[in-house]
């Protein structure tokens, strides 16, 4: 018996008739069809069971010639190649493992001109259907799940409770961990009393804040146009008033955040230290409770600090009229900003101006305590702070 060649020839999964189906082009993308076609081996086609192919109904002449009465999923243009499309989708996602061009997640197909996942496809569909317009509020697309989990872990790790310093033991532990670099800058400081070590840490923080306030003052309009001597005078008399106003945000009735928020030293522990160190922080707590009650935000505080620095009644100023004009402009902007930012608090502006006098009194008392500490304690002032305190009051 002569073997006859079977009349059946399995169609290529990417025959022209299949490729030309609109839904198929939308799902896969024409630019990928050639690569996918070449990647399917002859072995995969040879494993295709002819009987299963006939039983699937794809080659049935009777079914192919039947015209449906209604539009159903079975009568859609892609229904005739449903097996091919399903196999192609599985091949594309599993073998090629394409990434979403928007968020780098796993792509489910070719949507709206690019390979995209289901989430981004839905986003574009809603945007086009509803004709939405978005502001450029972020420069990234949808975050992949892996990056989202990593970012969430970093945030949770950074939200540790501050280390509480409430006695000498916890103070010693904090000095070894939180503020080791600050304390270690002075030779032999570890052998000195706790009061001296705390005063040294306060100086380190003050020097850093004074440096930041100097840079902030340069950003105030008109400040850099002043004579250099006037700039130095304004900073010399204004930085500690601004420092104590900013320090209030790190305080509550129970204590003070230290070491960039990683530590919390209790108010009662500071009171337990010997004089005059114990007298240094209590007035700041009393001022902070009243100042924090005003409910200022960062923008309010920035304008208030600018008004503190640009004060025309500082001793030794040369260009007083210009500085007074600067302060008037800043105070006027502060008033308008408070009215807009706190419309229900009518008396916030006059209350805030009263704090200027309170800050001056606070700095005067602080300078007197510093002079007393220099006489009674075995410590020295930082050169920058010495320059500020010299002939100040």
Q: Are 215 and 276 in a shared domain?
A: yes
Distance of CA 181 to the CA centre of its chain: 27
Q: Are 83 and 205 in a shared domain?
A: no
Q: Are 219 and 80 in a shared domain?
A: no
Residue 10 domain-assigned (yes or no): no
Per-residue CA distances from 284 to 241, 292, 299 (Å) = 11, 12, 22
The two three-digit tokens of residue 13, written as one number: 């999964």
The two three-digit tokens of residue 245, written as one number: 């106003």
**Which of 150, 176, 205 lies at the terminal end of a domain, its last residue?**
150
Q: Are 206 and 116 in a shared domain?
A: no
Cα dihedral value 312, 365, 206, 315, nearest 10: 20
* Band of pLDDT at residue 179, cut at 50, 70 and 90: low
Residue 5 domain-assigned (yes or no): no
The two three-digit tokens of residue 222, written as one number: 């008109």
Query: Residue 300 pLDDT more than 90?
Result: yes
Determine the Cα–Cα distance for residues 308 and 328; give it in Å rounded to an integer. 11
Q: What angle do CA 379, 205, 349 make, to 5 degrees?
A: 125
| Total count of domains within the chain | 2
Q: What's residue 276's pLDDT?
A: 84
Give 392 or 326, the one with higher predicted confidence: 326
pLDDT tens digits, residue range 119-131? 888 888 888 888 8
Q: What's residue 96's pLDDT?
A: 59
Residue 276, preceding peptide bond in cis (omega within 30° of 0): yes
Q: Are 207 and 87 in a shared domain?
A: no
Q: Are 166 and 126 in a shared domain?
A: no
Backbone phi and psi for residue 47, each to the nearest 5 degrees, phi listed first: -80, -5
The two three-digit tokens of residue 125, written as one number: 């569909």
* Mean local confidence (pLDDT), 259-278: 86
The two three-digit tokens of residue 311, written as one number: 């004060």
Per-residue CA distances from 125 to 24, 89, 118, 157 (Å) = 18, 20, 10, 37
Residue 1 domain-assigned (yes or no): no
Q: Are 193 and 82 in a shared domain?
A: no
Per-residue CA distances from 247 to 256, 262, 288, 293, 387 (Å) = 9, 15, 8, 14, 21
Range among 10-14, 268-272, 373-377 rated most confident? 268-272
Residue 4 domain-assigned (yes or no): no
**Which of 121, 150, 179 lies at the terminal end of a domain, its last residue?**
150
HSE of 25, CA atoms in CB hemisphere, 13 A: 8
Q: What's residue 73's pLDDT?
A: 41
Contacts made by residues 196-203, CB under 8 angstroms, sequence distance 24+: 196/377, 196/378, 196/379, 198/171, 198/273, 198/277, 199/277, 199/280, 199/373, 199/377, 199/379, 200/379, 201/258, 202/280, 203/381, 203/382, 203/385
Q: Are 170 and 44 in a shared domain?
A: no
- Inter-residue contact 203 to 388 (CB < 8 Å): no
Q: What's residue 65's pLDDT?
A: 42
Residue 2 domain-assigned (yes or no): no
**Which of 123, 150, 177 lies at the terminal end of a domain, its last residue?**
150
How many CB atoms lie under 10 A from the CB of residue 198?
Answer: 23
Q: Are 261 and 224 in a shared domain?
A: yes
Q: What's residue 379's pLDDT?
A: 74
Bridge partners, 111 (sequence order): 114
Bridge partners, 256 (sequence order): 251, 265
Q: Are 113 and 227 in a shared domain?
A: no
- Helix residue ranges per DSSP H, the chain: 16-19, 22-28, 30-39, 42-46, 50-55, 61-65, 82-91, 118-130, 145-158, 168-177, 180-183, 194-218, 228-247, 267-272, 278-292, 298-309, 320-341, 348-376, 383-389
Structure-token match 């002075």, residue found: 186
Determine the Cα–Cα distance for residues 282 and 58; give it in Å rounded to an integer. 88
CATH of the domain at 382: 1.10.565.10
Range of the domain at 82: 16-59+76-135+144-150
The two three-digit tokens of residue 344, written as one number: 């229900």
Query: Residue 79 pLDDT more than 60?
Result: no
The two three-digit tokens of residue 387, written as one number: 């320059």
Query: Residue 308 pLDDT more than 70?
Result: yes
Residue 369 domain-assigned (yes or no): yes
pLDDT tens digits, residue range 16-75? 444 454 444 444 444 444 444 444 444 444 444 444 444 444 444 444 444 444 434 444
Say whether 193 sits in a helix, a strand or coil: coil
Residue 339 domain-assigned (yes or no): yes
Q: Is the pTM of this model over 0.85?
A: no
Q: Are 170 and 298 in a shared domain?
A: yes
Q: Are 202 and 99 in a shared domain?
A: no
How many CB atoms lie under 10 A from the CB of residue 296?
Answer: 22
């Amino acid at each position: 018996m002569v073997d006859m060649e079977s009349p059946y020839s399995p169609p290529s999964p990417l025959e022209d008739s299949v490729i030309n189906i609109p839904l198929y082009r939308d799902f896969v993308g024409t630019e990928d069809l050639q690569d996918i076609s070449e990647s399917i081996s002859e072995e995969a086609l040879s494993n295709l069971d002819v009987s299963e192919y006939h039983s699937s109904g794809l080659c049935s002449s009777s079914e192919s010639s039947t015209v449906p009465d209604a539009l159903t999923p079975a009568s859609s243009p892609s229904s005739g190649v449903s097996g091919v499309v399903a196999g192609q989708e599985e091949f594309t996602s599993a073998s090629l493992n394409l990434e979403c061009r928007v968020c780098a997640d796993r792509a489910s197909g070719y949507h709206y001109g690019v390979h995209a996942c289901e989430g981004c496809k839905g986003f574009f569909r809603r945007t086009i259907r509803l004709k939405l317009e978005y502001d450029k509020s972020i420069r990234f697309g949808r975050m992949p799940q892996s990056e989202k989990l990593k970012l969430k872990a970093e945030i949770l790790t950074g939200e540790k409770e501050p280390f509480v310093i409430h006695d000498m033991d916890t103070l010693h532990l904090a000095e070894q961990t939180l503020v080791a670099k600050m304390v270690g800058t002075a030779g032999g400081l570890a052998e000195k009393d706790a009061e001296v070590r705390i005063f040294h840490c306060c100086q380190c923080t003050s020097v850093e804040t004074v440096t930041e306030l100097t840079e902030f003052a340069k950003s105030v309009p008109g400040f850099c146009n002043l004579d250099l001597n006037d700039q130095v005078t304004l900073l010399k008399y204004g930085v500690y008033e601004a420092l104590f106003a900013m320090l209030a945000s790190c305080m509550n009735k129970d204590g003070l955040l230290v070491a960039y928020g990683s530590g919390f030293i209790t108010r009662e522990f500071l009171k337990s230290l010997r004089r005059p160190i114990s007298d240094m922080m209590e007035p700041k707590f009393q001022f902070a409770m009243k100042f924090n009650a005003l409910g200022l935000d960062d923008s309010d505080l920035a304008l208030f600090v600018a008004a503190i620095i640009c004060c025309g009644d500082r001793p030794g100023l040369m260009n007083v009229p210009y500085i007074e004009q600067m302060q008037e402009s800043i105070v006027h902007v502060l008033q308008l900003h408070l009215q807009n930012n706190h419309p229900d608090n009518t008396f916030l502006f006059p209350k805030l101006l009263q704090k200027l006098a309170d800050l001056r009194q606070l700095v005067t008392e602080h300078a007197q305590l510093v002079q007393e500490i220099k006489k009674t304690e075995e410590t020295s002032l930082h050169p920058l702070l010495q320059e500020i305190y010299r002939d100040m009051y």
